[in-house]
Amino acid sequence: MARFEVDGDRTLVQRVLDDGDEGAFRQLYRRHSPYLFQFVLRVLGGNETDAEDVIQETWIRAVEGFARFRWEAELRTWLGGIALNLCRGMFRRRDRDWLDVASIPEPEAPAVTAAVESIDLERALALLPAGYRAVLVLHDVEGYKHDEIATALGTTAGTSKSQLHRARRAVRRLLNPVIDVDHTVVDGDHDART
């Protein structure tokens, strides 16, 4: 991120802290929310209502915690961490074992015909189980390392690696279903992509 933008963040955060400056907050919101929204939307599998709830709560927690933020990371990274933690809480409320490798069934390839033989990557990510999707998005899209994923999701680096392996396999299956002569989708290995 450009230096002036970091300095701008600092100044705006200070104005929010000192004066409750709504204008400064709106600048921060408009600067970082598009990234946060896309990130959260992807982690949550495309549920816009949930994503908006997470974004709102992220900003509330951020403003409440501005005084504790030490600027050792970029503001956007810190905000992303808050948002991810909220997503994790949301997943856990729905399924305690959302990150348990053993308990997550691999997704079935969608029923498609030869006329519609593939789906795009975004759709494939949305079809993944939450645990697979979170790890794959963080690692392959956002560039997190396994130990960072482990910290962010409250798991181990080993679990993160296992999830990533399964997630990639599932995505490949979703993206390239093998269609037999009767237009029945079957799973297949895709050497060209592995």
Partner 1 sequence: MPEPDELTQRERDEMAALPRYREPGRLLEERTVRELRARGLLRKPGVHRAWWAAAAAAAVALFATGFALGQRSASAAGVAMVTATVESQQAAMQAALQVQRTGSAWIAALTSLASLEESGDPDALRQGREAARSALRAAVVEYASMAPSDAVASQMLWLLSDTGSGGTDSLPAARQSQAFVWF
Residues that bind partner 1 (CB under 8 A): 15-16, 19-23, 25-26, 29-30, 33-35, 37-39, 41-42, 48, 51-52, 55-56, 59-60, 63-64, 121-122, 140-141, 161, 164-165, 168-169, 192-194
Q: Pick the closer one to partner 1 by CB: 23 or 183.
A: 23
Phi and psi of 179, rounded to 5°? -105, 125
DSSP H or E stretch at residue 4:
helix 3-19
Closest CA to 3 of 71, 63, 66, 62: 71
What is the Cα–Cα distance from 83 to 59, expressed in whole angstroms? 9
Shortest spacing between CB 122 and partner 1, in angstroms: 7
Q: Pick the closer one to partner 1 by CB: 30 or 72.
A: 30
Shortest spacing between CB 91 and partner 1, in angstroms: 20
Closest CA to 25 of 68, 74, 70, 75: 75
Q: Pick the closer one to partner 1 by CB: 51 or 104.
A: 51
Q: Where are the beta strands (DSSP E) in 34-182?
A: 178-179
Q: Pick the closer one to partner 1 by CB: 97 or 122.
A: 122
Q: What letter represents residue 166's amino acid?
A: R
Shortest spacing between CB 156 and partner 1, in angstroms: 14
